[in-house]
Structure 1
Amino acid sequence: MRLFAAVLPPEAAVAELAARVAALRGLPGADGLRWTERAGWHFTLAFFGQVDESVLPELHERLGRAAHRHPPHEVRLAGGGRFSDKVVWVGVEGDRATLGHLADSAEAGARRAGLHMDRHRPYHPHLTLARCRGGADLRPYVAGLEDFEGSAWTVTELSLVRSHPPTPGVAGAHPRYEVVAAWPLGR
């Protein structure tokens, strides 16, 4: 199964962001982007890829330990950016340091559980809003997020999420995400 560790924003934060994204989707050329579904909005902490079921007990144990080592912390969805001409994202403000440490711990826990992890990169918290295959001018979408500042919320848990790929050959199909386990932060 295809798995990753994530922080899921609460519904109130998602609703605030959805209102701004609706405005972005009205911009010229927006229909040429592949917009992520609201149900899939999350902050990926560590991507594990294909994981054999035999590894799950150890992975659960390690992620539980990682969650308990980090306190609940306050963040807010804010601002935005792009990765080249491929991805539009919304950022996060607040206790980014604790969020980054949580990501590092989730990745380290996966390694200790026996998963092969790609080369470690500094964590850049973002929530992907849209993707573009052919390249496009994403600056208007980033500009539309510059002044976005959602309400603060408290990150209280680390989730293990399963990604179900979109149905092949179905136009507009999106991946589906399923939380398979979650652990509270702190002790």
Structure 2
Amino acid sequence: MNDHPEPSTLRVFVALAPPDDAKDELARALRPAYETFPGLRWNRIEDWHITLAFLGELPATAVPPLRAALAAPAASRPALHLRLRGGGHFDERLLWSGIDGDLEGLHALAADVREAVDSCGITFRDRPLRPHLTLARSRRDDATSVPLAAAGLTGFEGRRWPTERLHLVGSNIGRGPGPIRYRDIEAWRFGSAVPSGGEGAPTAR
């Protein structure tokens, strides 16, 4: 008997994930902020991601068509070379690290991803892409911690790294108390297209 049945809806987004060593570099740069601002709601390092399209709450039945549609943009594109660089904040509430490198390619990939989502008949808020990696959020009565933590990242510049996979991710946000948790629904390697007539399967992380 399944004590945890699959939900009828999922909160879904499409993203890239930095490799572990790039995340470790940024985590080391954040150590002073972790100690100085323990009241911030820090994202888990393993959940750090760069969102390309946020689709919101979707019925579970919408996921299979997405899997088929999103395999193509990953398979047809080579890896991008990116780096984590500096820091900033949105509205003094959300702390982020910036993204540098092949930004033209990143915007083109995001456009392909959003076109693939649209082809599935899924309506979502198609906001302009502002590449970033969310690190932490402040509490409502704290308007200073996030800007100060962002200032501490001004000189940070991580190494360049190639993107490995495009990720379709689900989260449990809004499903009870506790921190947000993310899980890959599926992930696809970049540049994994096969010759016409062949068969290829997306590679999950």
Map 1:1-187 onto structure 2 (within 5 A): 1-27=10-36, 30-118=37-125, 120-134=126-140, 135-137=142-144, 138-165=146-173, 168-169=176-177, 173-186=178-191, 187=193
Aligned residues: 181
The answer on whether the counterparts of 2:95 and 2:147 sit within 8 Å (CA) in structure 1 is: no
Deviation at 1:166, TM superposition (A): 6.8
Q: CA deviation at 1:156?
A: 2.3
Q: CA deviation at 1:167?
A: 6.2
Q: Does the residue aligned with 1:39 lie in a helix, a strand or coil?
A: helix
If you compute each CA radius of gyration, which structure gives the higher value, 1 or 2?
2
What's the TM-score, normalizing by structure 1? 0.89
Question: Partners in 2 of 1:21 and 1:53 — Cα distance?
Answer: 37
Normalised by the size of structure 2, how large is the TM-score? 0.82
SS of structure 2 residue aligned to 1:129: strand
Tell me, which stretches of 5 or more residues in structure 1 are unaligned?
A: none
Unaligned runs of 5+ in 2: 1-9, 194-205
Give 1:58 shift.
Answer: 1.6
CA RMSD of superposed structures (Å)? 1.6
Structure 1 residues 145-154 or 55-64, which shifts more? Answer: 55-64
Q: CA deviation at 1:31?
A: 2.5
Percent of residue pairs bearing the same amino acid type: 36
CA deviation vs aligned residue, 1:69-111 (integer Å, no higher than 9, x gap): 3321111111111101111100111111111221222122111
CA contact (8 A) 2:69 2:116 kept: yes
